[in-house]
Amino acid sequence: MTNRSNECFSSFASLNSEFSPGFRVIDYFSDHISFNVCIKDKDDTSHTHQLNEMVLKSTSSPSVAIIASDVSIKNNVTTSIAHMYTYNKHLTKMIHYTVLITSTEAELFAIRCGINQAMNLNSIAKIIVVTDSIHVARKIFNPSVHPYQIQSVSILSELHNFFNRHEDNTIKFWECPSHLKWHLHNKVNKETKSF
């Protein structure tokens, strides 16, 4: 059996405490987690306006970190990118390249990297993750057996620590369809140049 197979097999650890009823992050901290989903059949104007408002409000708060994740696969090379913005600091860009993984694994990894970076700042009380793969973000909190549990367990462990740090800490996942990403990046870049 290859190491890759061993990794997949170990990810099905249904006895892992992060997936045990009563210990799950979603059980203890459900009111600290939220999702803002774009309604597919509606005009993009409303969602774009909401994204604008979120960026304007969040970039002026020293307790908020905005993470925008993106993944692309070209010639079997997967690129995971996590942009992070925190108040009065330059935009941070984390890029990772890998091969032989799915876009779902790469997206979870990008989200994990962003959350990890935000948690390293003690002043952060709210993490906003902007992604075009909201269905992937929902997998983090899915306790059923799935092949992405290694990433989910890592993210849930970090979130458990983040929520325990202070009772008001929250995370919000914003869906930003691919065709609106340029707008979000332009808005964040404009706001970060103002300091």
Hey, what are 110's tokens?
């990008």
- Indicate the domain borders of the chain: 18-192
What angle in degrees, to the nearest 10, is found between the helix axes of 181-192 and 44-59? 20
Give per-residue pLDDT as tens, 54-102.
888 888 899 999 999 889 889 889 998 898 999 888 788 899 999 988 8
The answer to whether the Cα torsion of 151, 154, 159, 160 is positive or negative is positive
Helix or strand run (H / E) with residue 8: helix 3-10
pLDDT of residue 195: 41
Rounded CA-CA distance 66/68 in Å is 7
The pLDDT of residue 175 is above 70:
yes
Is pLDDT larger for residue 19 or for residue 121?
121
**CA separation for the pair 171, 162 (Å, rounded):** 9
CATH architecture of 18-192: 2-Layer Sandwich (3.30)
- Mean pLDDT (the chain) is 80
Q: Report which residue type is found at 51.
A: L
Query: What's the whole-number mean pLDDT along residues 158-186?
Result: 82
What pLDDT is attached to residue 23?
Answer: 56
